[in-house]
């Protein structure tokens, strides 16, 4: 009998079912910066001396989404679009004060229900919500409103925690994020939403980065002085332009009056944030403050590598809107020009994304939620208006949009910028300025990348303008956006108007 068992043992062993290989968790990290221009990254080679080695590495080892746009270039509406997958006229957070609508469901709630351990750290700044914990997150860390750069007070899971010793918010958010990643439930996949305050005005870099860009050459845009009363400044030395360089075709009469007048307002180069900062310091401090965000990205990526999670984690870096640095005499965002509606976007995921790839398709903030959910294996909810671009990142061909739609709603605190709707294709941009006695706008982006030659009255472009206008209103009608959302919000005339916090 013993001999028989000995002879059968190999067969019995082979007959046992083989162990299934362990399924690797599909983790997600979404890193959001504030007011980060699409071209303010070192590898773009547009800002001399700008140092972003970690963002550069992310692009080198992942994908650069070259045509990424927001549907509203303003903090709260854009952030609500990222979380909801909806346009502002649908989720109704049309400005920085509009309250969240009842029953609104954001993508972290779906991930949490699917077994993900979720964390939010940083700037929430959403409608009527303060810093209190929001649904969908196992771990919560935020602050009230725009927050501060130094010595912040955080709401950590409902408890107020003060910080001192000149601690910088960007560094602290990263510290807490890495601590949560280390201490979380290791058996569950994770979703980390790291939402930076930086690089929102007024810019304040970490101590180690102060004055590191003090001598950086300033790339004054060619259109900075077009709206100036003294037209001799248009292409003079003050604009930092070589007098011998080719000059763009400019239609001064086509520049809207609201743009011309705004250069002397809160959001114009002649009276920046009520004269609280000069342009050169403004420019340098932006670059220095951005260095802290770049450090944060590097620390997060190093944690993933050190802990064996780099290969199976989808990392998305994005800005909530762009930022103007003097183009057409403007600063800040809100408008539909390229430097405002276009944002940086980088995606890293070795199992999906080929390193060094460039995605040329049009991606908008409404596409983020469906994409992150698709990576987690979840279907897109019916109310989401964006779509997953995960197949595009993997190199697959699929029908995809070739234009970006835009909306912005007039704000009582900043009345210089009108309500506007528009559409951007690979060649043309149409802007419908609503509620003002002014001109609409049409630009040929290939011939006029600086958007200074308004073709709206050009006889040769009337058919194009008419067609694009129809597309804008077809989009609004088809997505329930024909009625401007109005929100009754109790407001005090706060000093944020003078500090430029919103």
pLDDT given at position 227: 83
Place of tokens 């983790």: 27
Give the CB-side neighbour count of residue 116, counting CA atoms within 13 A.
Answer: 29
| Pick from 197, 151, 218: nearest CA to 292 | 197
| Pick from 286, 340, 333: nearest CA to 277 | 286
d(CA 378, CA 277): 47
| Pick from 86, 38, 126: nearest CA to 317 | 38
Local structure of residue 72 (DSSP, 8 states):
S
| Pick from 368, 377, 312: nearest CA to 345 | 368
| Pick from 90, 82, 30, 6: nearest CA to 484 | 90
How many residues comprise the chain? 502
Crossing angle of helices 279-306/53-61, nearest 10°?
50
Query: CA dist 65 to 347, 392, 403, Å?
Result: 8, 10, 14
In a 3-state reduction of DSSP, which class is residue 84? helix
User: Could you read off the pLDDT tens digit of each residue along the chain, which spans 502 residues?
Assistant: 444 444 444 444 444 444 444 457 999 999 999 999 999 999 999 999 999 999 999 999 999 999 999 999 999 999 999 999 999 999 999 999 898 888 999 999 999 999 999 999 999 998 766 899 999 999 999 999 999 999 999 999 999 999 999 999 999 999 999 999 999 999 999 999 999 999 999 999 999 999 999 999 998 998 998 888 654 444 444 444 445 556 678 998 999 999 999 999 999 999 999 888 889 999 999 999 999 999 999 999 999 999 999 999 999 999 999 999 999 999 999 999 999 999 999 999 998 999 999 999 999 999 999 999 999 999 999 999 999 999 999 999 999 999 999 999 999 889 999 999 999 999 999 999 999 999 999 999 999 999 999 999 999 999 999 999 999 999 999 999 999 888 765 555 444 443 443 3
Contact 336, 422 (CB under 8 A): yes
The tokens of 181 are what? 């990643």
| Pick from 29, 62, 302: nearest CA to 189 | 29
pLDDT given at position 498: 39
pLDDT given at position 128: 67
| Pick from 116, 43, 29: nearest CA to 358 | 43
- The 3 state secondary structure assigned to 333-371 is CCCCCHHHHECCEEEECCCCCCCCEEEEEEEEHHHHHHH
Domain coordinates in residue numbering, the chain: 27-482
| Pick from 473, 382, 481, 424: nearest CA to 91 | 481
The tokens of 261 are what? 């007048």
Beta pairing class for 313-319 and 27-33: parallel
Checking phi first, is residue 136 left (phi over 0); if not, alpha (psi -120 to 50) or beta? left
Query: CA dist 343 to 320, 337, 358, 457, 480, Å?
Result: 7, 12, 15, 30, 26
pLDDT given at position 226: 87
Query: CA dist 96 to 340, 363, 433, Å?
Result: 17, 23, 20
Local structure of residue 73 (DSSP, 8 states):
-
d(CA 497, CA 146): 12
Using the Cα atoms of residue 347, residue 349, residue 352 and residue 355 in order, give the sign of their dihedral.
Answer: positive
- CATH class, 27-482 region: alpha beta
d(CA 358, CA 373): 22
pLDDT given at position 464: 98
Contact 88, 328 (CB under 8 A): no
């Amino acid at each position: 009998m013993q001999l028989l068992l000995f002879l059968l043992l190999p067969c019995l062993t082979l007959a046992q079912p083989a162990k299934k290989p362990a399924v690797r968790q599909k983790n997600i990290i979404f890193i959001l910066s504030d007011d980060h221009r699409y071209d303010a990254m070192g590898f773009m080679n547009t800002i001399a001396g700008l140092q972003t080695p970690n963002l550069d590495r992310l692009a080198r080892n992942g994908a650069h989404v070259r045509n990424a746009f927001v549907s509203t270039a303003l903090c709260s509406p854009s952030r609500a679009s990222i979380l909801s997958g909806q346009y502002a006229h649908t989720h109704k957070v049309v400005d920085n004060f509009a309250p969240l609508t009842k029953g609104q469901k954001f993508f972290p709630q779906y991930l949490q229900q699917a077994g993900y351990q979720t964390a939010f750290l940083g700037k929430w700044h959403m409608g009527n919500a303060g810093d209190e914990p929001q649904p969908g997150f196992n771990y919560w860390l935020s602050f009230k409103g725009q927050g501060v750069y130094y010595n912040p007070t955080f709401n950590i899971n409902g408890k107020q925690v003060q910080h001192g010793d000149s601690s910088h918010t960007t560094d602290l958010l990263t510290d807490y994020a890495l601590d949560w990643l280390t201490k979380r439930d290791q058996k569950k996949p994770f979703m980390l939403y790291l939402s930076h305050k930086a690089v929102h005005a007024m810019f304040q870099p970490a101590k180690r980065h102060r004055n590191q860009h003090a001598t950086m050459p300033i790339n004054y845009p060619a259109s900075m002085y077009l709206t100036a009363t003294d037209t001799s400044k248009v292409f003079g030395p003050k604009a930092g332009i070589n007098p011998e360089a080719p000059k763009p075709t400019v239609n001064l009469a086509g520049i809207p009056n609201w743009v011309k007048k705004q250069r002397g307002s809160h959001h114009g180069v002649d009276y920046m944030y009520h004269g609280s900062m000069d342009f050169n310091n403004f420019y340098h401090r932006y670059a220095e403050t951005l260095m802290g965000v770049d450090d944060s990205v590097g620390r997060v990526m190093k944690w993933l590598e050190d802990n064996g999670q780099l290969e199976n984690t989808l990392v998305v870096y994005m800005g909530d809107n762009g930022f103007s640095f003097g183009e057409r005499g403007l600063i800040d965002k809100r408008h539909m020009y390229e430097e405002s509606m276009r944002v940086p976007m980088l995606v890293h995921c070795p199992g999906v994304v080929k390193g060094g790839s460039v995605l040329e398709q049009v991606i908008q903030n409404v596409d983020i939620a469906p994409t992150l959910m698709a990576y987690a294996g979840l279907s897109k909810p019916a109310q989401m208006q964006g779509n997953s671009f995960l197949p595009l990142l993997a190199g697959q061909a699929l029908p995809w949009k070739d234009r970006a739609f835009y909306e912005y709603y007039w704000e009582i605190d900043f009345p210089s910028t009108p309500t506007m709707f528009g559409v951007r294709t690979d060649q043309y941009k149409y802007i419908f300025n609503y509620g003002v006695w002014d001109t609409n706008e049409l630009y040929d982006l290939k011939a006029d990348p600086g958007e200074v030659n308004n073709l709206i009255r050009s006889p040769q472009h009337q058919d194009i303008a008419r067609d694009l206008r129809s597309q804008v209103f077809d989009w609004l009608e088809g997505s329930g956006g024909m009625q401007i959302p109005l929100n009754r919000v109790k407001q005090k005339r706060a000093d944020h108007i003078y500090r430029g916090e919103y």
